[in-house]
Structure 1
Amino acid sequence: MTVDGSFTCVVDRIVDERTAVVLLEEDGDVVDQLDLDLETLPEECRHEGALFDADVSDGALVDLEYRPERERKRRERLQEKFDRLSKRLDEQ
């Protein structure tokens, strides 16, 4: 059963070029996921890592707002973390 409310949403992965697995986050923690028909998302959100805010009602996204700047910053933070971890592994 999917929770209802306002969430930060991230397209975690796209399966079979048809289904978007969208993680619902609240205060930085994943609280649920939705498996959606990719076509139900706006075109700018149809890629892995797309970040947007949305309300969820009865398992459907409503009032979706794409956040490209937050997505870019998130990607940068993840890349920096990966680079730090890779560097530590190289030092061993």
Structure 2
Amino acid sequence: MPETYTTVLDRIVDGTTAVLLLEADETVVDELTVAVEELPDDGRHEGAVFDATVDRDAGELLEATYREEVERDRRESVRKRFDRLSERLSDEE
């Protein structure tokens, strides 16, 4: 039965296979490997975020929509978290 997930492109193996992490409630619930060509052109890079419709039973990606804005927000959030952590470390020295 098809379900829709927020999906992150974790890595590309040998330039041909994409490893996608399927998330539910901001937690990784599964992993799916697909041919890179199945993904939208603008989202064929590590860290890309998609809304993806997946048939987990069949292990198939049915549809993927690249979410550039969501990816940008996630990267910004990680950068801010890193900056806060590095400030704390400098204060401890």
TM-score, structure 1 as length reference: 0.86
Choose from 18, 36, 40 the match for 2:34.
36
Say how many residue pairs are matched. 90
Partner of 1:20: 18
Tell me how far apart the structure 2 counterparts of residues 64 and 90 of structure 1 sit (CA, whole Å): 42
Question: Which residue type is aligned with residue 8 of structure 1?
Answer: T
Report the identity percentage.
52
Choose from 5, 17, 21 the match for 1:7.
5
Question: Which residue type is aligned with residue 66 of structure 1?
Answer: Y
Partner of 1:45: 43
Q: Are the aligned partners of 1:19 and 1:37 in contact in 2 as well (CA < 8 Å)? A: yes
Is 1:78 aligned to 2:78, yes or no? yes
CA offsets, 1:63-86, max 9 Å, x none?
A: 321111111111100111111122
Deviates more, 1:46-55 or 1:60-69: 60-69
Q: Name the SS of the counterpart of 1:54 in structure 2.
A: strand
- The Cα RMSD (Å) is 1.6
Deviates more, 1:62-71 or 1:20-29: 62-71
Tell me how far apart the structure 2 counterparts of residues 10 and 29 of structure 1 sit (CA, whole Å): 11
The structure with more radius of gyration:
2
Tell me how far apart the structure 2 counterparts of residues 63 and 12 of structure 1 sit (CA, whole Å): 17
Moved over 6 A (4+): none
TM-score, structure 2 as length reference: 0.85
